[in-house]
Amino acid sequence: MNDSAPPPENEPQQEVYRVKIPQRKPLVTYILIGLSSLIFILQYYVETTTGSDLLFFYGGKINELIMTGQVWRLFTPMLLHGSILHLALNMYALYIIGRRLERYYGPGRFLLLYVLSGFAGNVLSFVLTKAPSLGASTAIFGLLAAEGVFIFQNRKLFGTTRTRQAIFNLAVILMINLTYGFMPGRNIDNMGHIGGFLGGIFFAWKGGPLLKLGGQPPFFDVVDVRKKGEVWVASVVVIIGFTIMALIPFFTG
């Protein structure tokens, strides 16, 4: 015999709400990882067979050659790497951060963020650092900045505690990387990192996802209410701003 009593008929039922978040596959992230890896393999093969890193010679950030008009060098360094460890660290960071961001940014806007951040980093490096450089870390730092902006601007959805923790974690990662880069004897392009970080902030602040809850209870979905016009304005601001900066050495050198 079952002695358990049934629940009272007038007992309020607990409502269950479901929030649907974007489930996009991070295709651009995977493509960038694959492309960077293939280029490194080609770079390594050419250097092994010829004894010279020709891909870096034709695509790396070399100030003297940029001054002759080879402006593509403000973009191509983000596809080149100096060692397998250099590649692995950058691609791991891209894998971790890129998958999270691309889900909300979408493929086109995420690629735009990546390219503009890399461009901004190479520009600041060109203006403030004479040493040659290469690597995707300029773009990676832009993704790091964009993730911080994304969490901050959507803090009402993420909650105060989660937002503070996420921002704190990102700040710690940033400070560790910059501090390590500024230590004596480190061959690290910190100006490129800072430039990429600034480019990511400028783009994400007015061009990143701005989320609102949509739908009807008990089913909600997350809607990005950022207007496309704002995304293009953010892109133009980064392009024009850092292009003007890139012109400084041509007038002062």
Q: Is 137 a catalytic residue?
A: yes
Q: Is 81 a catalytic residue?
A: no
The widest CA-to-CA distance across the chain, in whole angstroms, is: 94
81, 117, 133, 193: the catalytic one is 193
No. of H helices and E strands in the chain? 10, 3
DSSP secondary structure of 201-251: HHHHHHHS--EEEEEETTEEEEEE---HHHHHHHHHHHHHHHHHHHHHHHH
117, 133, 137, 235: the catalytic one is 137
- Using the structure block, give the residue that is written with the tokens 């701003």: 241
Q: Is the peptide bond before 218 cis (omega within 30 degrees of 0)?
A: yes
Q: Reading across the β-sheet that carries 18-20, which strands appear in turn? A: 18-20, 219-224, 211-216
- Annotated catalytic residues are 137, 193
